[in-house]
Amino acid sequence: MSADARRQAPAVARNREPILAVLREHLPARGTALEIASGSGEHAVAFAAAFPGMIWQPSDPDPANRASIAAWIASDGGPNLLPPIAVDATAENWPLATADAILCINMIHIAPWAACLGLMRGAARLLAPGGLLYLYGPFMRDGAHTAPSNAAFDESLRARDPAWGVRDLGDVIAAAEGFASPTVVAMPANNLSVLFRRV
């Protein structure tokens, strides 16, 4: 795979270390981690390197993103980082039967609400009791934005696609059937880490 296919997401350089700090406290030492909507693949490379005992399975529904992920793996990937697979979060069946952790970073606000609902259903299918579902991104709280920058971001998202937008944390929690109340960690740039455990 040509390195020319590698995409770079500027947000990764800003959020990679803060996300890793949270994951180090909550990810299991061993098992399989499924990353939904891996995007460029930069997170997958970094996270797999940080958790050598975990098998890391990146995924993305977009072929160009999967090409970028594969190119990053070819240039910087370790032995515990698997080739990317296509996962549509809204599908009733995913090409993976089980996972010990599922991560989804900066996806649910740039996708229709159905993608969040599908993510929750899929995570409930794949995770055993105690399994981790990790979400990261901007969220509203109690119907209000947490910062003017998030309000402006939400407006820009909805202008691009009316089905997109910053989601209210309460709505996301209500959609998480089969999960305990989440641990919520404030992150830089008015983002949140939201950690659900399967019950």
Say what the pLDDT of residue 62 is: 97
Say what the pLDDT of residue 126 is: 98
What 3 state SS string does 17-30 have? Answer: HHHHHHHHHHCCCC
Residue 1 confidence (pLDDT) above 60: no
How many structural domains comprise the chain? 1
What gap in Å lies between CA 96 and CA 13, rounded to an integer? 29
Phi, psi of 99 (to 5 degrees): -155, 155
pLDDT tens per residue, range 164-187: 999 999 999 999 999 999 999 999
> What count of Cα atoms within 13 Å lies in the side-chain half-sphere of residue 6?
17
pLDDT tens per residue, range 116-164: 999 999 999 999 999 999 999 999 999 999 999 999 999 999 999 999 9
Q: Say which CATH number the domain at 24 has.
A: 3.40.50.150
Q: At 4, is the pLDDT very low, low, confident or very high (cuts 50, 70, 90)?
A: confident
Strands 54-58 and 31-36: parallel
Q: At 3, is the pLDDT very low, low, confident or very high (cuts 50, 70, 90)?
A: low
Tabulate helix, strand, coil % of the chain (nearest 5).
40, 25, 30
Q: At 13, is the pLDDT very low, low, confident or very high (cuts 50, 70, 90)?
A: confident
pLDDT tens per residue, range 47-96: 999 999 999 999 999 999 999 999 999 999 999 999 999 999 999 999 99
Query: Domain span at residue 56?
Result: 3-197
The reported pTM is 0.96
